[in-house]
C-alpha cells in the first residue's frame, strides 16, 4: 500500500423495510485496495436504544419522539408489534435525522411477528400482559417469528409472567400471552438470566406499569451483557421511573417502582456495535476509519477501543468541538491499523460484550499470534450458535479455531477463499466481510441478513473501500 485514497464519507440510505422482507444474496467480499483506506463512516442509530425507547414511549403517559431511530428489520418489527397492540407510531423524514412520533394508546389483543429479533420476543410479552379488550375484559397477544427464532430461549421471561398471574401458553415461539383485563399485580420474580440479559430488561421496561411494580431477582450463572441492563436502567430513570439496583459488582436484583413513565424526546446514539466492523477494517488494512462516537455511553460497542489497541491499532477519540455533549452531540473516534498490517492476538473476557465476538474473532483469525475469547457460552442461544458457527466458518477457510465450553481459541493459520455462511446472523455476515479484506475469494452467502440491524451494509462497505460495486451476485 502506497498512496492514500481520498477521504470517503459513508452514510446509510434512508430505507423503509417491510418487517418480514429479507432477501438472500451472495456477496463477493472485497479485498482491501492496494492503498490505505481513509474513510469517514456514519452508522445509523443503536438498535438496542431504539427498541427500548419505543417500548417506553408506547407505555408512557404522554406522546414521545425518538430522534435518529434505527430503521432496520429488528426495529421495524418492534414498531409493527407496538402498533398492533395499540400505539400510534408515525415517521417524519423531513429533517436531517428521521424522527418517530409515538402516541401511546390502549394496549389490546394482537398478533406479533418477532422475526429473529430478541428484543421483540423478550420485551413485548411483558407489555402484552397489560392488554385489555375494548370493553375492558381479557385480551390475548399471540407471538411467532422466524423458524430460527423458535429455538431461542424464552422460558425465563414467560415463567416470570406466569408467576405474577399472567396466562401464558407455550414456553418458546409460538406462544400466547393472555391478560385478565386488569394490570398484573407484579411483585418479586426470580429468574435465571444467564442465557440473556434481555430477560431482565424486558421485565424492567414494563414493570412500572404493574400494580406493585416489579422486582427481578437473578438466580443462576453470570448474567451476560450487563451493559445492556445498565442501558435499560438509565433509560428508565430518564423517563422518570424509580429504579433500584443491587449495588454489588455483579448485580443480582433490580427493582422498578410502580408509577408513570414520562413521555419525552429520546435522542438515539449511533449503533457502536455496528460501527465495529468498519473500525476493524482499519485495523486489518493498515488504513484509518473515523466515525461519530459519544463521549460516554452504556453501549457495549464502546469496549472495542481497548481491544483494538491491544491488537496493535491506534485509537484516538476527539471530543465534540463545542465541548457540549448534551442533546446527542457526538465526538469522533478514529482508528488506524498498524502500517505493516500485522495484528496481535488477545485473551479477552467477552462476557459483558458478547455481541462484539464475531468482529473480534474475525480480527483474531487474521492476527499473527493466538487469541482466546471466553465468557461467552450464552452466544449459543443467539441468532445462531455463534461459537459453533465461528469455529466452523474460520476452519472452513483453512483457519484453526477451537470451540470451547465458554468461548473459542484461534491459532494463526494460512486462510484461503471459500463460502462464508452467515446462518441468517447479521454479525456472522459482517465477520466474513472483515476476513475478506485480507483473504481473496471469500463469498458471504447471505449478506442481506445484515438488514436485521444495518440495511445497506454491502454498499457502505464498498464505499468505505472506495469501490464502485458492492460485489453482490
Determine the pLDDT at residue 250: 84
Please report the pLDDT score of residue 324 as a whole number: 52
Q: Which residues of 117-156 are buried (b: 16+ CB within 10 A; e: fewer)?
A: bbbbbbbbbbbbbbbbeeeeeebbbbbbbbebbeebbbeb
Q: What is the mean pLDDT of residues 445-454?
A: 93
DSSP 69-102: ---SHHHHHHHHHHHHTT-EEEEE-SSSS-EEEE
Is 342's pLDDT higher than 50? yes
End-to-end CA distance of the chain: 28
Residue 228 counted as an annotated binding residue: no
Assess contact for 445 and 419: CB atoms under 8 A: yes
Q: How many CB atoms within 10 Å of residue 347?
A: 12
**What is the grid cell recorded at 323?**
465541548
Distance CA 254, CA 358 (A): 30
Catalytic choice (215, 269, 303, 355): 355
pLDDT in tens, 80-113: 999 999 999 999 988 888 899 999 999 999 999 9
Q: Nearest 5°: CA angle at 301, between 324 and 347? A: 130
pTM of the model: 0.89
| Count of all residues that appear for the chain in the document | 473
The pLDDT tens digits of the residues spanning 130-142 come to 999 988 889 999 9
225 labeled binding residue: yes
Q: Are 258 and 210 in contact (CB under 8 A)?
A: yes
Query: Cα angle at 373 between 24 and 289, to 5 degrees?
Result: 60
196 assigned ligand-binding residue = yes
371 marked among binding-site residues: no
- 452 annotated to a ligand binding site: yes
Q: Is 355 annotated as a binding residue?
A: yes
Known catalytic residue at 215: no
Q: Which domains does the chain have, with CATH numbers?
A: 27-45+269-465 (3.65.10.10), 47-255 (3.65.10.10)
Amino acid at each position: 500500500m502506497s498512496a492514500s485514497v481520498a477521504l470517503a464519507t459513508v452514510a446509510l440510505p434512508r430505507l423503509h423495510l417491510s418487517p418480514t422482507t429479507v432477501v438472500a444474496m451472495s456477496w463477493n467480499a472485497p479485498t482491501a485496495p492496494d492503498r490505505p483506506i481513509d474513510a469517514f463512516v456514519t452508522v445509523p442509530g443503536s438498535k438496542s436504544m431504539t427498541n427500548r425507547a419505543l417500548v417506553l414511549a408506547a407505555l408512557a403517559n404522554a406522546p414521545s419522539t425518538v430522534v435518529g431511530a434505527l430503521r432496520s428489520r429488528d426495529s421495524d418489527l418492534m414498531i409493527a408489534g407496538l402498533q398492533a397492540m395499540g400505539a400510534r407510531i408515525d415517521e417524519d423524514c423531513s429533517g436531517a435525522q428521521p424522527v418517530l412520533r409515538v402516541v401511546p394508546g390502549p394496549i389490546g389483543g394482537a398478533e406479533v411477528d418477532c422475526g429473529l429479533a430478541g428484543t421483540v420476543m423478550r420485551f413485548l410479552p411483558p407489555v402484552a400482559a397489560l392488554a385489555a379488550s375494548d370493553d375492558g375484559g381479557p385480551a390475548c397477544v399471540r407471538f411467532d417469528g422466524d423458524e430460527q427464532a423458535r429455538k431461542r430461549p424464552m422460558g425465563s421471561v414467560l415463567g416470570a409472567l406466569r408467576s405474577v398471574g399472567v396466562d401464558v401458553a407455550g414456553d418458546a415461539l409460538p406462544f400466547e400471552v393472555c391478560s385478565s383485563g386488569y394490570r398484573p399485580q407484579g411483585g418479586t420474580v426470580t429468574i435465571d438470566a444467564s442465557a440473556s440479559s434481555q430477560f431482565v430488561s424486558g421485565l424492567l421496561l414494563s414493570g412500572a406499569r404493574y400494580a406493585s411494580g416489579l422486582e427481578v431477582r437473578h438466580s443462576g450463572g453470570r448474567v451476560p451483557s450487563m451493559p445492556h441492563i445498565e442501558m435499560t436502567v438509565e433509560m428508565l430513570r430518564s423517563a422518570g421511573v424509580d429504579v433500584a439496583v443491587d449495588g454489588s459488582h455483579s448485580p443480582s436484583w433490580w427493582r422498578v417502582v410502580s408509577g408513570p413513565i414520562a413521555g419525552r424526546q429520546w435522542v438515539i446514539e449511533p449503533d457502536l456495535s455496528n460501527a465495529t466492523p468498519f473500525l476493524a477494517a482499519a485495523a486489518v488494512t493498515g488504513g484509518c476509519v473515523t466515525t461519530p462516537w459519544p463521549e460516554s455511553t452504556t453501549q457495549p460497542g464502546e469496549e472495542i477501543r481497548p481491544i483494538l489497541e491491544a491488537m496493535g491499532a491506534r485509537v484516538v477519540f476527539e471530543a465534540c468541538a463545542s465541548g457540549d455533549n448534551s442533546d446527542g452531540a457526538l465526538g469522533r473516534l478514529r482508528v488506524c491499523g498498524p502500517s505493516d498490517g500485522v495484528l496481535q492476538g488477545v485473551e479477552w473476557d467477552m462476557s459483558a460484550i458478547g455481541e462484539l465476538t464475531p468482529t473480534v474473532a474475525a480480527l483474531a483469525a487474521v492476527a499473527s499470534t493466538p487469541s482466546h475469547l471466553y465468557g461467552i457460552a450464552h452466544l449459543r442461544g443467539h441468532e445462531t450458535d455463534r461459537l459453533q458457527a465461528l469455529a466452523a466458518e474460520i476452519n472452513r477457510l483453512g483457519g484453526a479455531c477451537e470451540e470451547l465450553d465458554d468461548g473459542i481459541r484461534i491459532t494463526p493459520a494460512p486462510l484461503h477463499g471459500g463460502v462464508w455462511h452467515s446462518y441468517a446472523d447479521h454479525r456472522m455476515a459482517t465477520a466474513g466481510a472483515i476476513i475478506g479484506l485480507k483473504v481473496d475469494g471469500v463469498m458471504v452467502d447471505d449478506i442481506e441478513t445484515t438488514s436485521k440491524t444495518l440495511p445497506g451494509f454491502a454498499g457502505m462497505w464498498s464505499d468505505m473501500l472506495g469501490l464502485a460495486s458492492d460485489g453482490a451476485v
